[in-house]
Amino acid sequence: MTDRDDRRAVFRIVFAASAVLLFVSAWIIVPPVHRLVYALTVASPELAPVLLASAGVVAILSSFNARRRAIARVSLIFAAAASALALVPVVQFPIALARFDRSMTRTTAEPPSSNAGPIRVTRGLRFSNADGVPLALDVYQPSASGPRPIIMQIYGGAWQSGVPANQEWFSRHFAEQGYVVVAIDYRHAPEWKWPEQIVDVRTALYWISEEAHRYGGDASRIVLVGRSAGAQLAMRLAYQEGPSSIRGVVNYYGPVDLEDGWRRPPRPDPLNVRGILEAFIGGTPDAKPEHYRHASPITWVSKGSAPTLSIYGSRDRIVDPRFGRLLDAALKRAGATSVLLELPWSDHSFDAVRYGMGRYVSLRYTERFIAWAVNR
């Protein structure tokens, strides 16, 4: 192969890299038209710094031969466009942090320093056998001796899928910081419809109150953390006459008003929100209006509602961020404590991206909120 052939091969590689970067970066602003591309719309904005740096490298390589070769000029244009798209979340990042710091002034405490010691994980502890369905939970214990505050974690999955080991990174992180984390299970739709899920979550909370001391937990200081469907269950459990042992709720992009969610589904709607809600409740809001009202956390908001940290992505195409604003306003009108953090670049499940900006930001403020809640 000649030197000319080598250069052509390099030009083609640079061009391909610029095209891939532009395609991936486009999903920072393009809405998901189908579930097959949904993962890209979640991951692309979270990894914007990586995309920006990569596009910069490709732009530099392309610029060396942009005057002489058309393919290099096209590569440069693609890389510049990708850089411009990736720059948007990067610019939004520090602005959002400054706004969040102001929002959390009253509900912020410094989290305990990580003890960096080994944690103990106990899996498969049976807490329920409702209707012959065995349900178990996992406990993550810190190395520090108890009694320690407890985080009860409820996974999402559209009420249809999931296991307690979901978001294990979160459970391990907080156990390393000195919390006892209890990750629970519940029965799934469509086989099991509302209100069976809240029955299971309440049973898990009862197990914690009776058994958590065996694992170093302080059952008088519990914070509920839920994601999406799990957040709906966490809020619903806390707001309807939740015990005083529930010191706070962390709501990651949870449905708040289920009827509103059905009547005004997202556009586009890659996961078919109406179908998910009908499978969960067992019908439409017209057929089961009381079930939708009963399952909606906003129905049960009161002055005595547990302090709530709500975290939503402004680009969420599953649970519209308006629900975070709706809940925040309702809690504040009732006289309860509420903090709303809205990540302008993020979509649903943003914290699933391991090195994403959304995970970093949400974890930072979740740490501070929980530290404040368990010690208030």
The question of whether 291 is a catalytic residue gets the answer no
For the chain, give the mean pLDDT: 94
Query: What pLDDT, in 10s, does the model give residues 309-346?
Result: 999 999 999 999 999 999 999 999 999 999 999 999 99
- Per-residue pLDDT at 70: 85
Q: What is the pLDDT of residues 89-126, one digit of tens each?
A: 999 999 999 999 999 988 877 777 655 578 999 999 99
pLDDT band at 350 (very low <50, low <70, confident <90, very high): very high
Q: What confidence score (pLDDT) does residue 113 get?
A: 63
pLDDT tens digit sequence for 209-228 = 999 999 999 999 999 999 99
Residues 267, 302: Cα–Cα separation, whole Å: 32
**Confidence (pLDDT) at 10:** 75
Considering only residues 5 and 341, tell me which one the structure prediction assigns the higher pLDDT: 341
d(CA 350, CA 368): 19
The residue annotated as part of the active site, out of 25, 54, 228, 349, is: 228
Pairing of strands 308-313, 135-141: unpaired
Query: 80: which residues sit within 8 A by CB, 6+ positions away?
Result: 55, 59
316 is catalytic: yes
42 vs 28: CA distance, rounded Å? 8
pLDDT of residue 114: 59
Question: Given the structure tokens 């709500």, which residue do they identify?
Answer: 310
- Which segments of 210-363 are extended strands (E)? 217-227, 246-252, 308-313, 338-343
With H, G, I as helix, E, B as strand and everything else as coil, classify residue 181. strand
Contact criterion met (CB below 8 Å) for 72 and 48? no
- Give the C-alpha separation, 88 to 93, whole Å: 9
Task: Give the gyration radius of the chain's Cα atoms.
Answer: 23
Separation of alpha carbons 18 and 13, rounded Å: 9
Positive or negative: CA dihedral 157, 163, 164, 168: negative
Tokens of 179: 């919390």
Asked about 173 being catalytic, the answer comes back as no
The DSSP secondary-structure symbol of 347 reads -
Q: State the architecture of 120-375 in CATH terms.
A: 3-Layer(aba) Sandwich (3.40)
| Residue 7: predicted pLDDT | 64
Tokens of 374: 């368990």
Residue 360's H or E segment, with its range, is: helix 357-375
128, 291, 348, 349: the catalytic one is 348
Look at residue 135 and tell me whether its pLDDT is greater than 80: yes
Could you tell me the residue ranges of all domains in the chain? Answer: 3-94, 120-375
The one catalytic residue in 257, 316, 320, 328 is 316
